[in-house]
Amino acid sequence: VRNIMASTDDSLPTLQALISEQDFQAIQSQWDAVKVSLNKLIELSHSDENLPAHNLFINEAAPIAEVALDQLQSLINEESGNPFGGDRK
């Protein structure tokens, strides 16, 4: 969306030569209003409450993964201290 907005901004000066100044100013004003709305929409759509997968990962999956890694590290440490099972090491 941001690329399209930038492309449209770049294209507007070519339109200015083809229409009256009054029409161009009206179009420019309307386009600026559309950009404000689009930026608000982009900001809203990327908030935590509107990114449920990201929110689930941060609040649920990451803590579970941290616990799992701690348990694996404990198993590794326990096995490394075990004098038996040298062939497994």
Residue environment code for 4-37, b if the CB has 16+ CB neighbours within 10 A, otherwise e: eeeeeeeeeeeeeeeeeeeebeeeeeeeeeeeee
Q: pLDDT truncated to tens, each residue of the chain (89 aa)? A: 889 999 999 999 998 889 999 999 999 999 999 999 999 998 888 777 777 887 788 888 888 988 899 999 988 888 887 777 666 65
The domains of the chain are located at: 1-46, 51-89
Residue 79 to residue 9: CA distance in whole angstroms:
63
Reported pTM: 0.54
Residue 28 confidence (pLDDT) = 94
